[in-house]
Amino acid sequence: MFLDQSIAAMLILPALGAALCLILSRPRHVLTAIVGISALQLVLAANLWTAVLGGHGFVTAAASWLYVDAFSAFHIIVLALVFVLSSVFAGVYFTNASSDQTFTLTIARRYGALWLGSLAAMTLVLVSNSLGIMWVGMEATTLLTAFLISLYPNRLSLEAMWKYLLICSIGIAFAFMGTLLAAASLQVGSAGETAFFWTNLASAETHVDPTLMKFAFIFVLVGYGTKAGLAPIHSWLPDAHSQAPTPVSAMFSGFLLNTALYCIMRFVPPARHALGEHFASGLLIFFGTLSILVAAGFIVFQRDAKRLLAYHSVEHLGIIALGYGLGPLGAFAALFHTFNHSVCKALAFFAVGRLGQEFGSHEMHAISGALRADRLWGTALLVSFLALIGVAPFSIFMSEYQLLRAAVSAGAWLPLALFLLASGVVFVAALRHVIAMAFGIPTATVRVARNGSAAFLIVGVAMGLLLLLGLWMPLSLSKAIGSAAAIVAGQP
């Protein structure tokens, strides 16, 4: 398939799929459609990633308005993988829904349209070369995903939806101001329709006003950082994650947050060219470290398993931001951690979601004796939590180890000490939570359904990836992440 057509197909396919879901006649057909389209999207993403890494390092379409390099191709692969896993899990989750959350045809159509529409919007963010269109894509993700939170409307889900809409819309407005300031920072000789392309803005030959670029980056960091869930502008995230249906929570944590952080990182090379290495890196280190510390404090006192996972998202997005601020070695660790966290957090939400259905609650005191009640999802819960807190030999241990090496190499001793302190708190607190959930004595009647092949497939793939990449990283993957890290460092 021609590569420019691959990029277009990745935008058109989910958009058409969203329209198709509105006319399908059965909920089962909707679930089948989203799995099929997500799988095709993964095939297209793999084809594009292979072409980028094996060719000139980038692929363009639509007169360079669409542009995919190693950095965006990596994120496209992660996006497609998370959507495939979450789409397959949706079939497991909704077919076992309780009587008060019946997956009716109306809800199925709305879910399918919003789900695939969100996939199209996030893909647009990742393939856009225009900072303006990238912003439009992020705004579209806000509007589309908001209504997924309240798929089953009640007081708490509607409150979470409006909180998400209001806070993230304010953040997106800040990002818009930053985008305008970045455009205004372009000096004479950079005019034209391609001036607003991030490939032009990131070029060392492009001259920008340092003062305007400084304000632009601050606005972008605060704006998109709100959507990424970086502390202290993360307050929407625990409510949205806890009230959304579990496949939606997995998508939010598994990739939506990464999309916002991706947008921030597209502004880092021009900021570094205009202001030097330390300004952008210093802000990323500050917000990353703050997010880790804030999340550690909240994780200790959580009682709801989905809210606990939401604060783990704040922690791990902070780890990724910290890595990006530590130079090329840190960027490599951050990208590897992005993949690991996406897979691990999706698995954790899947386990909590299914166990919540079986135990009748997401409260951790209710989910007690999960291993005894449901061997498959109890194992998934235990493994995903152990991986999240960095237990060897899972892959998150390796990416966090690489981050430690990057911090030592950069001489970032204070962030390193704070990271180790917060990680120790998270390790003890989360381990205490998961031991109680996995090995405790059941306190309620458990409604266990027979697990089908789809459930075993999801758990097997996710656990296999976490274990395999913790023991061995293929050379091709190492080179791919290295190429993506070089772009973040301003070496396209």
Total domains, the chain: 1
Determine contact, residues 249/306, Cβ cutoff 8 Å.
yes
Look at residue 72 and tell me if it is in a domain. yes
Look at residue 15 and tell me if it is in a domain. yes
Instruction: Quote the pLDDT of residue 99.
Output: 60
- Chain centroid offset of residue 54 CA: 26
Segment-wise mean pLDDT, segments of 10 residues, the chain, 492 residues: 79 95 94 96 93 85 89 95 96 80 89 96 95 93 93 91 94 95 76 73 80 95 95 90 93 92 94 89 96 95 93 96 94 96 96 90 88 91 96 94 95 95 96 92 72 91 96 92 88 57
- Distance CA(297)–CA(319), nearest Å, equals 15
Look at residue 490 and tell me if it is in a domain. no
Look at residue 318 and tell me if it is in a domain. no
Instruction: Quote the pLDDT of residue 193.
Output: 65
3-class state of residue 58 by DSSP: strand
CA nearest to 261, candidates 324, 218, 194, 192? 324
Residues 6+ apart with CB under 8 A from 22: 109, 112, 113
Q: CA 203 → CA 70, 200, 268, 270, 327, distances in Å?
A: 16, 5, 12, 7, 18
CA nearest to 153, candidates 196, 184, 107? 107
- Distance CA(41)–CA(10), nearest Å, equals 6
Look at residue 473 and tell me if it is in a domain. no
Instruction: Quote the pLDDT of residue 478.
Output: 92
Tokens of 382: 């235990």
Question: Which residue intervals of 389-452 are DSSP H helices?
Answer: 395-410, 413-439
Look at residue 57 and tell me if it is in a domain. yes
DSSP string, 104-142: -HHHHHHHHHHHHHHHHHHHHHHHB-BHHHHHHHHHHHH
Look at residue 409 and tell me if it is in a domain. no
CA nearest to 151, candidates 93, 79, 78? 93
Output Rg (C-alpha) for the chain, integer angstroms. 21
- Chain centroid offset of residue 378 CA: 24
CB contact burial 278-315 (16+ within 10 A = b; e otherwise) = ebbbebbbebbbbbbbbbbebbeebebbbbbbbbbbbb
Crossing angle of the two packed helices 257-266 and 305-324, in degrees rounded to 10? 20
CA nearest to 206, candidates 226, 183, 224? 183
Q: What is the DSSP letter of 101?
A: G
Range of the domain at 91: 1-129
Determine contact, residues 91/454, Cβ cutoff 8 Å.
yes
Instruction: Quote the pLDDT of residue 140.
Output: 94
Look at residue 379 and tell me if it is in a domain. no
Instruction: Quote the pLDDT of residue 101.
Output: 72
DSSP string, 346-405: HHHHHHHHHHHHHHT--BTTTS-SHHHH-HHHHHHHHHHHHHHTT-TTSHHHHHHHHHHH
Q: What is the pTM of this model?
A: 0.95
Bridge-based pairing of strands 58-61 and 66-69 is antiparallel
Determine contact, residues 237/310, Cβ cutoff 8 Å.
yes
Residues 6+ apart with CB under 8 A from 427: 389, 390
